[in-house]
Chain A
Amino acid sequence: MLSKEIIGSVCVLRIDREAKRNALTPAILASIRQTLDNAMSARAIVLSGVGDTFCSGFDLSACRDDERVLPELLLALQAACQAMRQHPAPLVVSAHGAAIAGGCALVAAADFAYTTHDARIGYPAVRLGISPAVSAPLLRLAVGDGHARERLIDPGVIDGREALRLGLVAESLPSTSRCEARAIETARALAEYPPHAIAYTKRWLNRIDGSDNHDTASAAVEASLSVAGSDEQRAMLALALSPRTQP
């Protein structure tokens, strides 16, 4: 469910679950974390998704079928995002097509992100009674407090050009293929730099910008966990997934 390709000294990971629009399971998130932990010698990492959708968020039917899945997903998402931040090499995300909720959290955890003009980006999760608070600490670092607040409170989604305007991505591109190619191109350029300078700089940035603040990170995941499994959340999720309301 996570494919890995080595291009020179760049490690390209792709969420590989196209039939489910790369919806995240605890196993996929754990695999992102483990793969990163085992790829310490890579000079740059690309995280992408197979097909036209980078990531459509959590696997909601799995959440509905088993109540234990949502809390697992929240904790695994947090761990995957931290692994992206803590990796010594720069992390580049190709967020083509869609980066919804947990997918958007992965974008916020990146050092560089690219997207497509037609992408759908944001946190509609609150419509399902799920709180995206887990994503707040890194999102506010990526785009500032004002934009982060709007995106986490408003369940609407934005497109690639708007994500560029907010500063969430470095560039918005016209197609999936160009988006991933651009992410790989950036990763290859970064891989040429002296790895120690990149690693020290990234670690220093993590320290001074608050990425390393464990209290903030725990409070964020606790906020999301506090409403996971509530009556409201179960009712809203069941309604959203019922055949009657399926598009």
Chain B
Amino acid sequence: MNHLTRLTSNGPIGTLTLNRPEARNALSIDLLGSLHDRADEIARRDDLRVLILTGEGKSFCAGMDLKAVLGDDKTAITLLTMLADLCVKIRSLPLAVLGRVNGAAIGGGCGLVCICDLAITHADSKMGFPEVGMGVCPAVVAPWLIRRVGAGKARRILLMGGLMTGQQAFDTGIVTGLVPGADDLDDAVAQTAERLASGGAQALQATKNHLNNLDGSLDRDQARQGAELSARVLALPESRARLQAALAGR
């Protein structure tokens, strides 16, 4: 299943790519498993100081594989727990993580953007958390969005649902950098990655670790509780009906 992700490196800068473009990089059990393996691999390496997280093709990540979620309740809790654990795992890596948000980042995909230390997108990308409109509770991503934009804005964004443009994601602070078009992304990402790589590895690690402790990023219990809540809500008949209707309407 390792074809589902790709890890490359160039000096101290690694790039982890979600490689399931035919499904807009939607998070399946196999893709999440592959991301876990890659994150473990990165944790064992001592040559990397920056990790670029991106998606192959036109999307960054379309979120949870909803068809798989509708399949059975067991798949849902497995997927959600794997996502919750992955977020904590990537956040714990002792390197600067830079999101290269090449296109749509939806739901759990937008959650992956929030766990990055920095993230850059272009003005036309589609981002956001449409979960409530589909009868789903975005409990796994909620703590990460709060850490990214603050509790007040996170509340409005999650309760209002829907999608926003890259420009709006930049204005609300979900991404930290914005370029005009998709073609401008690589230059900005390369420049930022090099700047991030110019710092001392130990200083970066100490700083990141401190921030993670301050803002509760390493609270795995809370992450797991979010996965359980989200799975519980997904199993309700009213959620399944809404979700089926939303998928049919696509």
**A209/B158 in contact, CB under 8 A:** no
Cβ-based interface call for B109 (8 A)? no
Name B's interface SS.
helix
Cβ-based interface call for A143 (8 A)? yes
Chain B residues in 8 Å Cβ range of A201 = 131-132, 137-139, 142, 158-159
Among residues of A, the one whose C-beta sits closest to the C-beta of B133 is: A193
Most buried by B among A143, A167, A200: A200
**A111/B239 in contact, CB under 8 A:** no
Which residue of B152, B156, B242 contacts A194 across the interface (Cβ within 8 Å)?
Answer: B242
Chain B residues in 8 Å Cβ range of A141 = 150-152
Cβ-based interface call for B154 (8 A)? yes
A107 to B156, CA, bound (A): 13
A193 to B137, CA, bound (A): 12
Cβ-based interface call for B165 (8 A)? no
Q: How large is the interface on B (under 10, 10 to 19, 20 to 34, 35 or more residues)?
A: 20 to 34
**A208/B159 in contact, CB under 8 A:** no
Cβ-based interface call for B66 (8 A)? no
**A197/B131 in contact, CB under 8 A:** yes
**B238/A208 in contact, CB under 8 A:** no
Over the window 48-59 of chain A, the binary record of Cβ atoms lying under 8 Å from chain B Cβ atoms (1 yes, 0 no) is 000000000000
**B135/A197 in contact, CB under 8 A:** yes
Chain B residues in 8 Å Cβ range of A112 = 156, 159-160
**B142/A111 in contact, CB under 8 A:** no
**B233/A197 in contact, CB under 8 A:** yes
**B152/A193 in contact, CB under 8 A:** no
Name A's interface SS.
helix
Q: How large is the interface on A (under 10, 10 to 19, 20 to 34, 35 or more residues)?
A: 20 to 34
A111 to B154, CA, bound (A): 10
Number of A-B contacts (CB under 8 A): 88
Known A-B contacts A204-B229, A205-B158; the reply to A196 vs B236 at CB < 8 A is yes
**A202/B159 in contact, CB under 8 A:** yes
**B161/A193 in contact, CB under 8 A:** yes
**A197/B239 in contact, CB under 8 A:** yes
Cβ-based interface call for B99 (8 A)? no
Most buried by A among B146, B152, B154, B222: B152
A193 to B131, CA, bound (A): 10
A208 to B132, CA, bound (A): 17
Over the window 123-161 of chain A, the binary record of Cβ atoms lying under 8 Å from chain B Cβ atoms (1 yes, 0 no) is 000000000000000000111100000000000000000
Cβ-based interface call for A190 (8 A)? yes
A residues apposed to B, CB below 8 Å: 90, 111-112, 141-144, 167-168, 170, 186, 189-190, 193-194, 196-198, 200-202, 204-205, 208-210
- Given contacts A111-B155, A197-B134, list 6 more A-B pairs with CB under 8 A: A168-B152, A194-B239, A197-B133, A200-B233, A205-B158, A210-B151
Q: Which 5 A-B pairs have the closest CB atoms?
A: A142-B152, A209-B151, A141-B151, A194-B135, A200-B137
